Structure 1
Amino acid sequence: MRDPFELGGQTVAPGTRKTIDLPVSVLSDHTPVTLSAHIIHGRRPGPVMFVSAAIHGDEVVGVEIVRRLLRATPLQRLSGTLIAVPIVNAFGFLNQSRYLPDRRDLNRCFPGYDTGSLAARLADLFMEQVVRRCDVGIDLHSAAVGRTNLPQIRLTPGDDRLRELGAAFGAPVTLTSKTREGSLRLEADKAGVDVLLYEAGEGLRFDEFAVRAGVSGSLRVMVKLGMIAGRGVPKTRMQSVICERSTWLRAPSGGLLRTLKASGDWVEEGTVLGVVSDPFGEHEEEITAEAAGIVIGRTNLPVVNEGDALFHVAIPKAPKQAEAAAETFDDHLEAAPLFDEDEII
């Protein structure tokens, strides 16, 4: 029999699950704010893994992924321990904002410290109570409001274990991405915790394909770690396209954007992705791909200013295989039926 799992002064017995609220702060009207973590502590030994979402408060896709993951049947016979935190930044989530009340980006404030700003204190709490307790983690993100991302995994360069876990996740695209100062990924890496970064969908919007890809990928990672059995876990239906660099194409001038390519589309060098024109249609400028690759992100807003980021194109290591894989993305999108509005709400 395993020892109970302790978090925030509470214990979770082997073979049970519990939601634990970790105090964060008190609002000006005396309303308490907590960091809520759901613990599933398996009867059998195994890795400790965290899954987190809404470090940016408007990234609701990740919240839905965690909700569905916690109800997945394979987790009923878990080896090891899962710590699920669907909403890290409760302040931003309640305000439908990416940031904290002081306009700080929480993902630039790690590792934080317990006597600092609100962001620093929240980052410190999450690092000490969750991240440092784990062997591996999956951090769920989406694009900001007005942009959308093709489901993709971002890996720290040179980490063989993460590369294996990323392959098990099976996102359409796997992108090598350097860690940034103050980010959760960087500080987790310093603490010896491997973290997969999942990017998919748009801020404040549900994307059914992004949600399903996130749930299935998280379960496949748990299979790879030996935390759950493979029975009932969706198999990868596509080969992830490996990319080591990417580029953003920006608006050459202000105006109205007519988008000609969507996320997941394969483009050749010189392909026209969109056209920016003035409101009178007297002046038009084309946005063309600088190299062959896959559109992994784009703006959804038709009104743009000069210099705005419009299309994010990832450059694959093996262009021919990547082009063939990209042609199947639409099939997978169509294969996943959308929920009715009342089912989502």
Structure 2
Amino acid sequence: MTRAPFSIGGIEVAAGERKLVSLPMTALANRTPMALPVSVCHAGEDGPTLFVSGAVHGDELTGVAICRKLLAARSIGLKRGTLLVVPIVNAFGFIGHSRYLPDRRDLNRSFPGAARGSLAAQLAHLFLKEIVGRSDCGIDLHSAAIHRSNLPQIRVDSHQERAYEIAQAFGAPIIVHSGLREGSLRQAAQAMDVPVIVYEGGEGLRVDDLSVSVGLEGVLRVMAHLGMTDRRNPRRPPPELAIGSKWVRADGSGLFRPFRDIGDHVAEGEKIGTVADPYGESETELKASIGGIIIGRANIPAINQGDALFHIAKVENASRLGERYDRLERKLADTMPDEDEIL
């Protein structure tokens, strides 16, 4: 029996077909229409529906690049289920190189939204209704904010069994426990019984090959884990679970000079950077508040008192994780899969 078509936005996608469907939203002040485009890949056999989304924050381009590579491949090997790919959720922020929407709201604090609410609320409502509501699970792709970098990592509520299982299947170097935040996509999806994991990697307004490679591989691993493809996932060590994390903040303003980078293993009390007065009258040492691995770091030299400079995750074996990240940098940078060869 032929599988029933997938219906979204008044468009039907037949079994074995792939279509780009635009979900109408609103218009700009100059009457330019705006929509939420979603690429629908509907396999010939029954299976789960997975959504993959990028640019919920408009200035985070890592997810856009991952989605592009996934969709540009000659074949993603989809055999069962349905894949919904939304490379750019927040088109307004993406066009304006901004994290936010024109109403200055953070989309990831605006869920579940409302059909007649603010612009952010309307977009959140549309995404939740049309994408999350049609899915069994999801992967939301992010990067750090501008002027910061994140180690490739998965954030998930480790107490949510189904979401944690997907997080482990993704295979990022580290999983950071992150509770559900009010107004977030994860919280709204969980309320609908749709487990969602968040991938973090790279820097805002930048695309780095390593974060894209780890993210692309992770999406493919999840698809295989869900039985959507016949791909055999290569063996790799299980991700390390962070049992806590802390930010090292600046005690004063000045010029930030880091001595350590993301992926580095640090000991508690170790000197990891300095903040110096521009006039050369003082210099303050930055020391690791806990032992662990650096999963986030500021990249801009001019900083203010209280700025978050290093994000350190506490893991049981930070040195092993640091070595694994080093291997990833060496291996994945040299073996970035071509779009026609990702399988």
TM range (shorter): over 0.9
Q: In the alignment, what sits opposite 1:11?
A: 12
2:163 and 2:109 map into 1 onto residues whose CA distance is 22
Q: Structure 1 residue runs of 4+, over 3 Å off?
A: 71-74, 236-239, 337-340
Q: In the alignment, what sits opposite 1:334?
A: 330
In structure 2, the CA distance between the partners of 1:236 and 1:302, relative to structure 1 (3 Å rule), is farther
Q: In the alignment, what sits opposite 2:253?
A: 254
1:328 and 1:146 map into 2 onto residues whose CA distance is 25
Q: In the alignment, what sits opposite 1:310?
A: 309
Equivalent residue pairs, number = 336
- Which amino acid in the other structure matches residue 108 of structure 2? N
In structure 2, the CA distance between the partners of 1:338 and 1:253, relative to structure 1 (3 Å rule), is farther
Q: In the alignment, what sits opposite 1:200?
A: 201
Q: In the alignment, what sits opposite 1:35?
A: 36
Give secondary structure in 2 for the equivalent of 1:214.
helix
Q: How far off is 1:74 after superposition?
A: 5.8
1:294–1:315: 8 Å Cα contact kept in structure 2? yes
Deviates more, 1:64-73 or 1:53-62: 64-73
Give secondary structure in 2 for the equivalent of 1:84.
strand
Q: Is 1:22–2:23 an aligned residue pair?
A: yes
Percent identity between matched residues is 49
Q: How far off is 1:164 after superposition?
A: 1.8
1:208–1:338: 8 Å Cα contact kept in structure 2? no
Q: Provide, for residues 132-185 of structure 1, a one-character-per-residue CA deviation record: whole Å limited to 9, x for no partner.
A: 110000000011110010000011131122222111111111011011100000
Mapping 1:286-325, distance limit 5 Å: 286-316=285-315, 318=316, 321-325=317-321
RMSD: 1.7
Q: How far off is 1:102 after superposition?
A: 1.0
1:144 and 1:96 map into 2 onto residues whose CA distance is 11
In structure 2, the CA distance between the partners of 1:276 and 1:339, relative to structure 1 (3 Å rule), is farther
2:322 and 2:237 map into 1 onto residues whose CA distance is 9
Q: How far off is 1:310 after superposition?
A: 0.3
2:157–2:180: 8 Å Cα contact kept in structure 1? yes
- Which amino acid in the other structure matches residue 87 of structure 1? I
2:153–2:200: 8 Å Cα contact kept in structure 1? yes
- Which amino acid in the other structure matches residue 279 of structure 1? P
In structure 2, the CA distance between the partners of 1:197 and 1:236, relative to structure 1 (3 Å rule), is farther
Q: In the alignment, what sits opposite 1:120?
A: 121
In structure 2, the CA distance between the partners of 1:63 and 1:338, relative to structure 1 (3 Å rule), is farther
1:130 and 1:15 map into 2 onto residues whose CA distance is 19
- Which amino acid in the other structure matches residue 76 of structure 1? G
2:257 and 2:4 map into 1 onto residues whose CA distance is 59
Q: How far off is 1:236 after superposition?
A: 5.0
Q: How far off is 1:283 after superposition?
A: 0.9
Q: Provide, for residues 172-220 of structure 1, a one-character-per-residue CA deviation record: whole Å limited to 9, x for no partner.
A: 1101101110000000000000001001100110110000000000100
Q: In the alignment, what sits opposite 1:179?
A: 180
2:77 and 2:252 map into 1 onto residues whose CA distance is 54
2:123 and 2:190 map into 1 onto residues whose CA distance is 19
Q: How far off is 1:78 after superposition?
A: 2.4
Mapping 1:110-189, distance limit 5 Å: 110-189=111-190
1:314 and 1:56 map into 2 onto residues whose CA distance is 23
Give secondary structure in 2 for the equivalent of 1:75.
coil
- TM-score, with length taken from structure 2: 0.95
Q: How far off is 1:225 after superposition?
A: 0.5
Q: How far off is 1:325 after superposition?
A: 2.4
Q: Is 1:99–2:100 an aligned residue pair?
A: yes
Q: How far off is 1:280 after superposition?
A: 2.5
2:246 and 2:48 map into 1 onto residues whose CA distance is 36
Give secondary structure in 1 for the equivalent of 2:333.
coil
- Runs (5+) with no aligned partner, structure 2: none
2:189 and 2:26 map into 1 onto residues whose CA distance is 23
2:246–2:290: 8 Å Cα contact kept in structure 1? no
Give secondary structure in 1 for the equivalent of 2:243.
strand
1:6 and 1:292 map into 2 onto residues whose CA distance is 51
In structure 2, the CA distance between the partners of 1:300 and 1:238, relative to structure 1 (3 Å rule), is farther
